[in-house]
Amino acid sequence: MLLVLSEEQKGHLGCLPRVGGAAVGELGRLAVELLRRGAAPRACETAARKLNTGVDTIQHGVEGLMYLLTESSKLMISEIDFQDSIRVLGFSEELNKLLLQLYLDNRKEIRSILTELAPKLPSYHSLEWRLDVQLASRSLRQQIKPAVTMKLHLNQNEDQTAQVLQTDPSTLVHLIQQLEQALGEMKTNHCRRIARNMK
Amino acid sequence: MRFRFCGDLDCPDWVLAEISVLAKISSVKLKLICAQVLRELLGEAIDYEKILKLTSDAKLESGDVKATIAVLDFIFSSAAKHNVDGESLSSELQQLGLPKEHATGLCRSYEEKQSSLQESLRACSLRLSQLDSVSWRVDYTLSSSELRDVGEPLVHLLLRTRDRGGSVAAVPMAVSADKFRVLLSELKQAQALMKTLL
Q: Which helix (H) or strand (E) holds A151?
A: strand A145-156
Nearest CA in chain B to A161: B165
Round the average pLDDT of chain A to a whole number and report it. 84
- Closest residue by Cα to residue B103 from B15, B27, B6: B27
Round the average pLDDT of chain B to a whole number and report it. 87
Chain A interface includes B192 (CB < 8 A)? no
Q: How many angstroms away from the CA of B19 is the closest CA of chain A?
A: 26
pLDDT at position A166 over 80: yes
Whether residue A149 and residue B128 make contact (CB cut-off 8 A), yes or no, is: yes
pLDDT at position A147 over 90: yes
CA dist list (Å): A175 to A134, A144, A168, A171, B164: 22, 22, 11, 6, 27
With beta carbons less than 8 A apart as the criterion, state whether A17 and A49 touch: no
Residue type, A185: E
**Packing angle between helix A21-37 and helix A93-115, nearest 10 degrees?**
10
Nearest to A149 among B126, B186, B193 (CB): B126
Q: How many angstroms away from the CA of B94 is the closest CA of chain A?
A: 31
Q: Where is average pLDDT lowest: B59-68, B138-147, B148-157?
A: B59-68
Chain B interface includes A50 (CB < 8 A)? no
Chain B interface includes A132 (CB < 8 A)? no
Which of the four pLDDT bands, split at 50, 70 and 90, describes residue B153? very high
- Closest residue by Cα to residue B125 from A164, A161, A128, A148: A128
Nearest CA in chain A to B185: A138
Nearest to B125 among A130, A138, A164 (CB): A130
The larger pLDDT score, comparing residue A14 to residue B69, is at B69
Give pLDDT, residue A132. Answer: 92
Q: What string of DSSP letters covers chain B?
A: --BGGGTSBPPPHHHHHHHHHHTTS-HHHHHHHHHHHHHHHTTSPP-HHHHHHHHTTTT--HHHHHHHHHHHHHHHHHHHHTT--HHHHHHHHHHTT--HHHHHHHHHHHHHHHHHHHHHHHHTS---EEEEEEEEEEEEE---SS-S---EEEEEEEEEEEETTS-EEEEEEEEEHHHHHHHHHHHHHHHHHHHHH-
Give pLDDT, residue A96. Answer: 82
Give pLDDT, residue A199. Answer: 75
User: How many Cβ pairs closer than 8 A exist between chain A and B?
Assistant: 18
Q: Give the ipTM.
A: 0.72
Chain A interface includes B191 (CB < 8 A)? no
Q: What is the pLDDT of residues A66-83, one digit of tens each?
A: 888 888 888 888 888 888
